[in-house]
Structure 1
Amino acid sequence: MTGSADAPIAPLRRAWRRARPSLLLVLPILLALAALGFGAAAWRAERTNRTIAALDAGEDAAVAPDAPVPLLVARVRFLAARDRLEETEPLVAALDRAAAPEAAARARYLVANARVRDAFARIARSDLDKAGPQVTLARQDYRRALRDRPDFWDAKFNLDVASRLIRDFPEFDRTSGDEMRAEPKQIWTDIPGQPRGGP
């Protein structure tokens, strides 16, 4: 009985004996390759973290568009804080291509905040012609951030602030072509019985 029970196992034993020397040779190579892979990934993560820390400390560091997502956001934050908004455009586009909606929303929020800060500075200098387009672009960026992350409360609040600027300075809307629907022409003033313009 035992001989018949061992019959199906015998070919397996022979196969194991034949394969064992090869496996003993290949296994250390596979383990070494895995260790190298993990080591390279850890080195890349460490380098990314060092670059993010440098950017957060105010040191300029070049970042390629194919860099890891957290590094792209850190670079956008660095550039937006220094009003270098044109340099943020390829990085935000890279976040879109990376299918990272949360990070893209954060980056657009940072850029929009920089635009609103610039608009406030221009309004303080009575430079309304250049403040209007900044407010319009900021509103568009806030909307795109909310499209990617509808629960982004800070972006909602700041969009409301930018929209109030449009209400307070209606010439912004006329000169800068926001994507919002134009309001119908008002023929009468807000005071009943007082038509605009009369003799």
Structure 2
Amino acid sequence: MSRLRKLRWLALTVASCAVGVAVWQGMIWYDHARDQRRITAALAHQEVAITPDTGLRVLFARGYGQARLQRYREASAAYRAVWNRTYGADGSDPDGLAARSRYNLGNLYARRSVAAAESYDIDSARTMAELAKQAYRDALRAAPDYWPAKHNFEAAQRLVRDLPTHDGEASTDPEAKPDVWSQMPGFPRGLP
């Protein structure tokens, strides 16, 4: 083979690789642009078609948008879908959406708990506070250093403890008022 012929083959190979990479990058760009349009629509409170291959960020944005409209059932369904597809499935969560989805779900439950307590529906308030605590625990399991979840978990524990019982008084059960140090995750028990 002549030197010119080898250069032509090399140029053809490089050109075909470049075209392949360009097509691949174009597909990635198109997917990101499509997801960005869906995220914008979800945050603008427009209906977004949810399919099994919908991106996690789109689901998260849908949950956030529905929560802002106080559509708790739809928001919790979107957050649960994010959790199931990240932490619940194979544990891969490159964007950290598993912990954030559980944190937001816990916030939904905490808001509903406070609203129920203000309307004197103590049973619902306790149930929602317990669900909030579980969601915060899940967030901490997915991301142990997630400080907002630690803070809200502690607040949810205090909320449950301070809710009145059916007698109209705050709970006086010794198990309901343990030492403060035992309630603070990540802090040692006893003296410093």
Q: In 1, are the aligned partners of 2:59 and 2:78 still within 8 Å (CA)?
A: no
Output the CA distance in 2 between the equivalents of 1:165 and 1:90. 27
- 2:190 maps to which residue? none
Q: In 2, are the aligned partners of 1:118 and 1:131 still within 8 Å (CA)?
A: yes
Code of the aligned partner of 1:183 = E
Output the CA distance in 2 between the equivalents of 1:171 and 1:86. 31
Which consecutive segments of 4 or more residues in structure 1 shift more than 6 A? none
Select the structure that is richer in helix.
Answer: 1
Code of the aligned partner of 1:95 = T
Q: In 2, are the aligned partners of 1:92 and 1:108 still within 8 Å (CA)?
A: yes
Output the CA distance in 1 between the equivalents of 2:145 and 2:164. 29
Output the CA distance in 1 between the equivalents of 2:146 and 2:62. 21
Change (3 A) 1:87 1:107: closer
Output the CA distance in 2 between the equivalents of 1:88 and 1:155. 15
TM-score normalised by length of structure 1: 0.69
Residue 12 of structure 2 is aligned to residue 25 of structure 1: yes
- 2:41 maps to which residue? 54
Q: In 2, are the aligned partners of 1:72 and 1:95 still within 8 Å (CA)?
A: no
Q: In 2, are the aligned partners of 1:79 and 1:88 still within 8 Å (CA)?
A: no
Secondary structure of the 1:151 match is coil
- 2:72 maps to which residue? 83
Which runs of 5 or more residues in structure 2 are unaligned? 167-173, 177-192
- 2:84 maps to which residue? 93
Residue 153 of structure 2 is aligned to residue 159 of structure 1: yes
The count of corresponding residues between Structure 1 and Structure 2 is 162
Code of the aligned partner of 1:111 = L
Q: In 1, are the aligned partners of 2:56 and 2:82 still within 8 Å (CA)?
A: no
Which runs of 5 or more residues in structure 1 are unaligned? 1-13, 173-181, 185-199
Q: In 1, are the aligned partners of 2:82 and 2:98 still within 8 Å (CA)?
A: no
Work out which of the residue numbers 54, 57, 64 in structure 2 matches 1:67: 54
Change (3 A) 1:111 1:24: same
Fraction of identical pairs, as percent: 32
RMSD of aligned residue pairs (Cα, Å): 2.7
1:17 Cα shift? 4.7
Secondary structure of the 1:19 match is helix
Code of the aligned partner of 2:141 = R
Output the CA distance in 2 between the equivalents of 1:133 and 1:165. 11
1:75 Cα shift? 2.5
- 1:194 maps to which residue? none
Output the CA distance in 2 between the equivalents of 1:53 and 1:157. 30
Residue 141 of structure 2 is aligned to residue 147 of structure 1: yes
1:171 Cα shift? 4.5
